[in-house]
A and B are shown apart, each in its own frame.
Chain A
C-alpha cells in the first residue's frame, strides 16, 4: 500500500514540476526572500516589489522568508523555491557564505539569483544591490545639514566609536565633498560610543563649547536619538538641528519635537521595487549582469555594477515631517 502511495505521490510531484514551467511562460515569478517574515522593513520592501510587478505587468511576486533570521531557514526556503522552479530569487541574506551552495544550485537550474540589502558572496549571486554607497552617504549627511543652513554655519559630527569602520568611512567621504558646501564649517568630531548616555553628554558638551552651533550630524542611530534628546533638554530646539542617519520609528519623536528637521536612511519600498525590477530584467529581458554592466531599474534610474558586480541604488532617502507618520510604523 505505502509503496503505491509513494509512487503516486512522486508521480504527482513530477507532474507538478513539469507543469510549472508551462505556467511560468505567461508570468515571470520572482521570489523576494526576506531575512525573516514579520519585520516591517521587509514587509515594506515587498510592497515596493508589488509596485514594480504592477508596473511591469506579467510579473508575480512571491514574498517569502524564514520565521527567524537564520541561514538554515533561508536555505530551506531556497530549496523549496528551487522545487517550485521560480524564475528569479532576490534575497536579503542572513549569512554571506552559508547560502552560496544553495543559491549555486538554483543558478544551475537556470534561476536568476540576485542579493539585495544584505549581500551574498559574489559566487552565489549574479549581482548585489546595495541600498546606497559610502560616498553617497557621506555626501548626504552634510547635505542634510547644509540644506537648512543657506547662510552657512557651524556643524559638528557625533559619531559612534573612534574605531567604527562604517562611521569613519562616511565621515571621510563627507570631508571629501566639503568643498561643495561653502560656508559650512565642521567644528568638531566627537564620539558617543553608541551609548545613549555618553552620546547625550557629548552632544551637551558640543552645545556648551560651541554656543553658535547650528547642526549636529550623527551618522549612527543611537547617537542621533540621544543628540535630539539633548537638544530638547537644553532648550535649543530651532537653534540646533540634529540630523544624520536614523530609523523613522526611533526618530519620530525628534521630528515631532522639532529637534530634528530631517534625517536619512534607505527607503525599503524603493529597495524592494529596484530588486524586483532588476530580477525581472535579468530573468526575462536577457540582460547580462557583470562588472561594468548598466541595468535599468524603472523609476529608480540605472544600476551600475562595480568589479564585484555590486551596485548602489541611490542616495539615502530623506525623512521629515511630511512622511515620518507613514514610515514610523514600518521600520
Chain B
C-alpha cells in the first residue's frame, strides 16, 4: 500500500539526479551553484516542454517522431515572419507558433485517426516532409541574429523573478499538463486509451479522436518551442534541432513512460528531461574526452531504462489455480 502512495519510480529518478549532481560537483564544484542550476534548468526547458507533448502521445500507444522537424519548421516560419514584418507583437508570434505547430500535429493525428496508418510511419514521413518544406520556403538560407528584431530574440531571455521566460514557459506547461492529466476527462481518457483501447471503447471513448488530440497537443508544444528555440539561439536554418526527437523520446522513456502506452506521469517526463539535461550540461565541464561523451550519454539512457524496466515489473498473478493444474 505504501508503495502505491509514494511514486517510487519518480523518487528513484529524483535520487539518481541528485546523486549525479553530487558526483559532478566533486569534479566541478561550481556546477551546483544555484545560478548554474538555473541555467541547466533553462537549457533543459525546451526538452521538458517537448517531453510533455511526447508523453501524451506515447500514453495513447502512439509515437511522434516529427516534433523536432515541427519545431524547426515553425521556428523558420516565425523567423521569416519576423524578418518580413519586424513590428509584429510577440504575443501574436507566440500564438502563430502554437497554432502552426498544432496544425502540423493535427495533420499527423488525422492520418493516424482516419487512415489508421501506424503512427511511427506517419510521423517518420511528416518529419521528412516538414524538413523539406523548411528547405523550400527558406531556399536553404539562414535567418541570422542581425535580421531578427530585438524584441523577438529578447523574449525568452527576459527575466521574471530571477528566471528567464523560457524557464517559466516550461514551469507553466508542466503545471497545465499536471492538472490536465489528473483532473480533466481528456487526461483520464488518454490513460484509458493507452491502458486498454478495447475497454476504452466500451466506456464511450473515441480512441482515434483521443490519439488525434494527443498529436495536436504535442504539435502545439513543438510549435511553441520552435519560436523559443529560434529566439534563444538567434538563428534559424534547415537542420536546427536535428535528431532532437530521439532525445525527447529518450527523456520520456527514462522518466518511466511505458512505450507500450497507458503508464506514465508528468513528473516522470519532467525528471527524465532533467536527467538528460544535467548529463548534457555536465559533460562539457567535467573534462571528459569528447570521444567518450556519446558513449556515456548512451549508457546513462540504457541504465536508466533497464532500471525502470526492473522496477516497473509486476509479478503476474495466478487467477485460476485449477486451470494452472489442468494445463
Q: How far is the CB of B221 from chain A (nearest CB, A)?
A: 17
Known A197-B241, A201-B280, A250-B235: A208·B146 in contact at CB below 8 Å: no
Taking a contact as CB atoms under 8 Å apart, the answer to whether B157 and A233 are in contact is yes
Indicate whether B233 reaches chain A with its CB closer than 8 angstroms. Answer: yes
Residues of B within 8 A of A254 (CB): 145
Taking a contact as CB atoms under 8 Å apart, the answer to whether B284 and A249 are in contact is no
Residues of A within 8 A of B285 (CB): 205, 208-209
Indicate whether B299 reaches chain A with its CB closer than 8 angstroms. Answer: no
| CA distance in complex: A328, B146 (Å) | 10
Q: Name A100-127 residues within 8 Å CB distance of B.
A: none
| CA distance in complex: A206, B241 (Å) | 21
Taking a contact as CB atoms under 8 Å apart, the answer to whether A250 and B290 are in contact is no
Taking a contact as CB atoms under 8 Å apart, the answer to whether A204 and B290 are in contact is no
| CA distance in complex: A208, B222 (Å) | 30
| CA distance in complex: A290, B235 (Å) | 44
Taking a contact as CB atoms under 8 Å apart, the answer to whether B284 and A201 are in contact is yes
Q: How far is the CB of A223 from chain B (nearest CB, A)?
A: 11
Indicate whether A266 reaches chain B with its CB closer than 8 angstroms. Answer: no
Indicate whether A174 reaches chain B with its CB closer than 8 angstroms. Answer: no
Known A201-B284, A202-B284: A191·B290 in contact at CB below 8 Å: yes
Contact of A209 among B28, B144, B241 (CB under 8 A): B28
Taking a contact as CB atoms under 8 Å apart, the answer to whether B284 and A204 are in contact is yes
Q: Name A198-244 residues within 8 Å CB distance of B.
A: 200-202, 204-206, 208-209, 225-226, 228-229, 233
Indicate whether A253 reaches chain B with its CB closer than 8 angstroms. Answer: yes
Indicate whether B202 reaches chain A with its CB closer than 8 angstroms. Answer: no
Residues of A within 8 A of B146 (CB): 252-253, 256, 328
- The 8 A CB mask of B233-249 against A (1 = contact, 0 = none) is 11100011111100000
The residue in chain A whose Cβ has the minimal distance to the Cβ of B31 is A208
Q: How far is the CB of B89 from chain A (nearest CB, A)?
A: 22
| Majority SS at the chain A contact face | helix
Indicate whether A54 reaches chain B with its CB closer than 8 angstroms. Answer: no
Q: Name A304-331 residues within 8 Å CB distance of B.
A: 328
Residues of B within 8 A of A195 (CB): 239-243
- The 8 A CB mask of B268-290 against A (1 = contact, 0 = none) is 00000000000011011101001
Contact of B39 among A191, A204, A251 (CB under 8 A): A204
Taking a contact as CB atoms under 8 Å apart, the answer to whether A190 and B290 are in contact is yes
Residues of A within 8 A of B244 (CB): 197
Interface size class of A (residues with CB under 8 A): 20 to 34
| CA distance in complex: A229, B153 (Å) | 11
| CA distance in complex: A226, B243 (Å) | 18
| CA distance in complex: A202, B288 (Å) | 12
| CA distance in complex: A225, B143 (Å) | 12
Indicate whether B26 reaches chain A with its CB closer than 8 angstroms. Answer: no
Indicate whether B30 reaches chain A with its CB closer than 8 angstroms. Answer: yes
Contact of A206 among B31, B142, B284, B290 (CB under 8 A): B284
Indicate whether A162 reaches chain B with its CB closer than 8 angstroms. Answer: yes
Taking a contact as CB atoms under 8 Å apart, the answer to whether A201 and B144 are in contact is no
| CA distance in complex: A279, B285 (Å) | 52
Contact of B284 among A205, A253, A257 (CB under 8 A): A205
Contact of B290 among A162, A200, A256, A257 (CB under 8 A): A162
Indicate whether A196 reaches chain B with its CB closer than 8 angstroms. Answer: yes
Residues of A within 8 A of B280 (CB): 201
Q: How far is the CB of A324 from chain B (nearest CB, A)?
A: 9
Taking a contact as CB atoms under 8 Å apart, the answer to whether B233 and A253 are in contact is no
Known A195-B242, A196-B240, A229-B233: A205·B145 in contact at CB below 8 Å: no
| CA distance in complex: A229, B146 (Å) | 12
| CA distance in complex: A228, B144 (Å) | 12
> A250-B235, A252-B145 known; 8 other A-B pairs, CB under 8 Å?
A197-B229, A201-B280, A204-B284, A209-B284, A225-B144, A225-B145, A225-B234, A252-B144
20 A-B interface contacts by CB (under 8 A): A191-B290, A195-B243, A196-B235, A197-B233, A201-B43, A201-B280, A202-B284, A204-B281, A205-B281, A206-B284, A208-B31, A209-B284, A225-B144, A225-B234, A226-B233, A229-B235, A233-B157, A249-B144, A250-B142, A253-B234
> Could you list which residues of chain A lie within 8 angstroms of chain B, going by C-beta atoms?
162, 189-191, 194-197, 200-202, 204-206, 208-209, 225-226, 228-229, 233, 249-254, 256-257, 328
